[in-house]
Amino acid sequence: MNLSSFISFVVSIFISVLLLGCNTGANKKPDDTKNPPSLTEQVSKLQQQKNIPAVSFAVLENGQPQFALAGTLAVSSAQKIVTSDLLPLGSNSKAFTASLIARFVEQGKLHWNDKVSQWLPLHASYKDLTLEQLLRHESGLSPLTEMKDVADAINAIGGLTGDLTKDQDALINWVLATPSRFMPGGKTEYGNTNYVIAGRIAEHVGKDSYENLVRREIFIPLGINGQFNAPKNGVLGHSWENNQWKVKNITPEEEYINSQLALAAGGWYMSMPDYTQFLKANIDGLRGQSTWLKEPTLKYMHSTTRADQLGIGWQVLNSNGETFSQHLGSDEESYLHGVIFSQKSGKAVAFFTSGYSDAAVNAVSDLALQWEK
């Protein structure tokens, strides 16, 4: 299953639970709700019952976060996971790229409807492609969400050199020289390429590296931090093979592709408290309570104009008159990092599992939705 299909699948779960009620809320007997288990108790129980290597949760309500986690850095490790551990965000990193572009829009350096051709040479079929269409995944570009497609693209440019700028330029130029899969703006197709290109445009405008720009425009103002290389002695991802968890070994080439070439699309690592602070900045901004990004800007990013459209850096769901922002990050093999929050109540839940299986994904998603309600 590719990432876009996976996201659609989990979105359907989110909507069904929001509409029908969660098993451990709507269906409890009255006496069961007098002393409900704490987040810490539920996370610990989930981790043990599902035998997941590590689980981490954050719940943000009324501006106040609470954290719960259980498990170890790896199945073979006795070292327990702690809140300061850096977790892979995967595609949740796209919200940073979208926020960076939004900062430049507010500074008058960019406009949502700017043509991509202002900065990069491209095939004639993309002549009207706009920055907003990139960020809403409406470009028609090859998405490069599957590693096989990434490998084919790398072969097409003659391989990687190890020079980040040269390799990114080669891949971007190759993608933009390929005819569009559909007319830009005509439909939605989730892809990583859109955000890699948006990151390169940010570098042109900000006259600095993407990493430095994110730190300057997002991390420093919000008092948070992150890194793009997998932390040493950090939390390891696990795949479910032959009825047991197996640590996923990441090759140097995979690390280079995911954490450097595709940093703007999915390469950041961040602790759960820092990620929660980023969520709080979005929620506060939607209520006009932040100077980091203005309320109209954030409302524009966290909204859509048609059913199949995505937000800018986010997915937007509507259920029973309430609007939710959410996103998921995963390599579809060894971890899942997710978030969902209500734009009305401001309540947010972020969750992470270092084990990737149907049972693990369903369990953490269900618990997240119980707490979101």
The pLDDT, as a whole number, for residue 145 is 87
The pLDDT, as a whole number, for residue 307 is 84
Q: Write b or e for each residue in 146-159: b if 16 or more Cβ atoms lie within 10 A of its Cβ, otherwise e.
A: eeebbeebbeebee
The pLDDT, as a whole number, for residue 33 is 57
Q: Write b or e for each residue in 73-102: b if 16 or more Cβ atoms lie within 10 A of its Cβ, otherwise e.
A: bbbebeeebeeebbbbbbbbbbbbbbbbbb
Report which residue type is found at 261. Answer: L
Weakest mean pLDDT among 144-153, 233-242, 274-283: 144-153
Q: Give, in degrees to the nearest 5, the angle at Cα 297 between 295 and 298.
A: 65
Residue 33's CB: how many other CB atoms inside 10 A? Answer: 10
pLDDT digits (tens, 9 = 90+) for 293-348: 999 999 999 999 888 899 999 999 988 889 999 999 999 999 999 999 999 999 99
CB 196 within 8 A of CB 168: yes
Comparing C-alpha atoms, which of 4, 1, 6, 13 is closest to residue 324?
A: 13
pLDDT beyond 90 at 54 = yes
The pLDDT, as a whole number, for residue 32 is 52
The structure tokens listed for 142 are 């090859």
Report which residue type is found at 345. Answer: S
pLDDT band at 139 (very low <50, low <70, confident <90, very high): very high
Instruction: Please tell me the distance from the alpha carbon of residue 122 to that of residue 258, in angstroms, as a whole number.
Output: 24
How deeply is 293 buried, as exposed, middle or buried, from its count of CB atoms within 10 A (0-12, 13-18, 19+)?
A: buried
Q: Where are the domains of the chain?
A: 3-372
Compute CA 54 distance to the chain's CA centroid, rounded to the nearest angstrom: 19
pLDDT beyond 90 at 51 = yes
DSSP three-state, residue 337 = strand
Q: Which residues pair with residue 74 across a beta bridge?
A: none
C-alpha dihedral (253, 256, 257, 261), degrees to nearest 10: -150
Q: Which residues contact 298 (CB under 8 A, 6 or more apart)?
A: 102, 282, 285, 286
Comparing C-alpha atoms, which of 202, 221, 315, 354 is closest to residue 263?
A: 202
The pLDDT, as a whole number, for residue 321 is 86
Pairing of strands 315-319, 322-330: antiparallel
pLDDT band at 19 (very low <50, low <70, confident <90, very high): very low
The structure tokens listed for 135 are 């960020």
Comparing C-alpha atoms, which of 218, 205, 198 is closest to residue 135?
A: 198
Give the rounded percent of residues in the chain with a pLDDT score beyond 90.
Answer: 83
Length of the chain equals: 373
Residue with tokens 């926020």: 99
Q: Which residues pair with residue 329 across a beta bridge?
A: 337
pLDDT beyond 70 at 25 = no
pLDDT beyond 50 at 28 = no
Query: What are the Cα distances from residue 143, in Å, to 301, 328, 340?
Result: 21, 17, 24
| Average pLDDT of span 29-44 | 77
The structure tokens listed for 131 are 């920055």
Comparing C-alpha atoms, which of 291, 287, 283 is closest to residue 347?
A: 283
pLDDT digits (tens, 9 = 90+) for 163-175: 999 999 999 999 9
pLDDT digits (tens, 9 = 90+) for 224-266: 999 998 998 899 999 999 999 999 998 999 999 988 999 999 9
Q: What is the CATH number of domain 3-372?
A: 3.40.710.10
The pLDDT, as a whole number, for residue 239 is 97
The pLDDT, as a whole number, for residue 11 is 53
Q: Give, in degrees to the nearest 5, the angle at Cα 223 between 217 and 228.
A: 65
pLDDT beyond 80 at 31 = no
pLDDT beyond 80 at 27 = no
What's the chain's average pLDDT?
91
Strand order in the sheet with 244-247: 244-247, 238-241, 355-356
Report the run of H or E that residue 190 belongs to, with start and end. Answer: none
The pLDDT, as a whole number, for residue 17 is 43
pLDDT beyond 70 at 24 = no
